[in-house]
Amino acid sequence: MYRIIRIPPEKGEEIRKKAVREHFLDTERKIRKFRTAENAFLEIPVTEAAGKSVEGFPVLEQENPEFPEKPGSLKEYLKDFLSEAELACVPAGWQILGDIIIVSIPEALEDKKIRIAEALLSMYPKCRTVVRDLGIEGQFRQPKRELLLGTGTETIHKEHGCFFKQDVTKVMYSKGNLEERKRMSRLGKGEVIVDMFAGIGYFSIPMAVHSSPEKITGIEINPESFAYLKENIRLNRVEEIFIPVCGDCSTAAPEGTADRVLMGYVGTTHHYLEPAIKALKKSGGILHYHETVPDSLARTRPQERIRKAAYALGKKVEILETRRIKKYSPGVLHVVVDARIFE
Q: Give the list of residues 6+ apart from residue 16 with CB closer than 8 angstroms, or none.
A: 25, 31, 44
Inform me whether the pLDDT recorded for 315 exceeds 90: yes
Amino acid at 342: F
**For residue 200, what pLDDT band results from cuts at 50, 70 and 90?**
very high
> What pairs with residue 45 in β-bridges?
4
Please state the domain extents for the chain: 3-61, 74-152, 174-342
Tell me the whole-structure pTM to 2 decimals. Answer: 0.77
The single-letter DSSP state of residue 5 is: E
- pLDDT tens figures, 221-269: 999 999 999 999 999 999 999 999 999 999 999 999 999 999 999 889 9
What's the pLDDT score for residue 69? 59
The CB density around residue 106, as the number of other CB atoms within 10 Å, is: 11
What is the residue-averaged pLDDT of the chain?
A: 91
What's the pLDDT score for residue 96? 93
Fold of the domain spanning 74-152: GMP Synthetase; Chain A, domain 3 (3.30.300)
**Mean of pLDDT values over 287-311:** 96
Count how many Cα atoms sit within 13 Å of the Cα of residue 76 in the half-sphere of its side chain: 8
CA 16 to CA 285: how far, in whole Å?
59
CATH of domain 174-342: 3.40.50.150
What's the pLDDT score for residue 73? 86
CA 27 to CA 149: how far, in whole Å?
16
Helix and strand counts by DSSP (H, E) for the chain: 10, 18
Torsion sign over Cα 26, 30, 31, 33: negative
